[in-house]
Amino acid sequence: MFRILKKECLAPNIYLMDVEAPRTAKHALPGQFLIVRTDAEGERIPLTICDYDSEAGTVQIVFQVIGGETYRMSQLNEGDCFADVVGPLGRPSDLTEIPLDELKKMKICFIAGGVGTAPVYCQLKWLKKQGVTVDCIQGARTKDIIILEKEMSEVSDLHICTDDGSYGIAGNVCVALQKLIDEGKTFDRVVAIGPMIMMKFVCQLTKELGIETIVSMNPIMVDGTGMCGACRLMVDGQVKFACVDGPEFDGHKVDFAQAMQRMAQYKTEEGRLYLAAKEGSTHHGGCGNCN
């Protein structure tokens, strides 16, 4: 059993939890994710790692209540236990593999949207420990749902923006990125993590600007082990699965139109049947949603 040591409500329907998971914490790296299960009857929920402490043996997760299972997760309290915490899964950020002298020369801007702030924080904290400080744009619809602002500001040069202009830069993350560039900032790489539509438009802008861009396709994962095929996507014309081949990919090579259309179809029974017929052996179909 995996005991919950800390629970905090960060914003309406958004929760942070520190969970006791020593083996997972020992091997975790930025960019990876976990599979969490509330109890023996619970669904598998893939969540990117927000933070980890190998000495304390804890991992930190942030999740938003969007369905029945995440609601059940939100009802757990400090001292309660998850039935399963499996991980770390997926490939770590390639930043962890770049020699430190090269990493320190890179000009990087992270873009965090919504609960995508959690995995961005993990990477920013790791970079800060290596002596690397980067820019970060954190976006939300309104001030009320900005999360982890203090923590993010401690590990990056933080620029907050809100769609409604209630806090920080008025406008979305693309407006904020263009503003920084207009003010003289230059970037070798952008790392965008958040809602699919946000990542799509960030990639459109950075392609025009000629900036390498990495995105995390964790929003489309279901099973998290490569068996279900729910996170199937096209990257540079090839079939990839976000959970085992990613979750991070070259954003300029991701077919966002196909991925977003597929996500919408996957929500209905007829859509799942259509995708199963169309995609054949690459569909897999083991997630339990297609039968």
Instruction: Dump pLDDT digits (tens) for 210-222.
Output: 999 999 987 666 6
CATH 3.40.50.980 is right for the domain spanning 2-89: no
Report d(CA 272, CA 291) in Å as an integer.
9
Report d(CA 2, CA 42) in Å as an integer.
14
Per-residue confidence band for 98, with pLDDT thresholds at 50, 70 and 90? very high
Quick one: which of 14, 102, 27, 98 has its CA closest to 63? 14
User: How is the chain split into domains, by residue range?
Assistant: 2-89, 94-216
Tell me the pLDDT tens digit for each residue of 151-187. 999 999 999 999 999 999 999 999 999 999 999 999 9
Name the helix (H) or strand (E) containing 121. helix 117-129
Please say if the pLDDT value at position 285 is more than 60.
Answer: no
The reported pLDDT for the residue numbered 77 is 95
Per-residue confidence band for 69, with pLDDT thresholds at 50, 70 and 90? confident
The reported pLDDT for the residue numbered 288 is 43
Cβ neighbours, 10 Å, residue 246? 24
Instruction: Calculate the alpha carbon distances from 35 to 87, 142, 164, 189, 258 in Å.
Output: 7, 30, 34, 29, 25
Burial 91-115 (b: 16+ CB within 10 A, else e): bbbebbeeeeeebeeeebbbbbbbb
248: number of CA atoms within 13 Å, CB side?
Answer: 22
Reported pTM: 0.85
Report d(CA 218, CA 230) in Å as an integer.
11
Pairing state between β 45-48 and 33-37: antiparallel
Q: Which fold, 94-216? A: Rossmann fold (3.40.50)
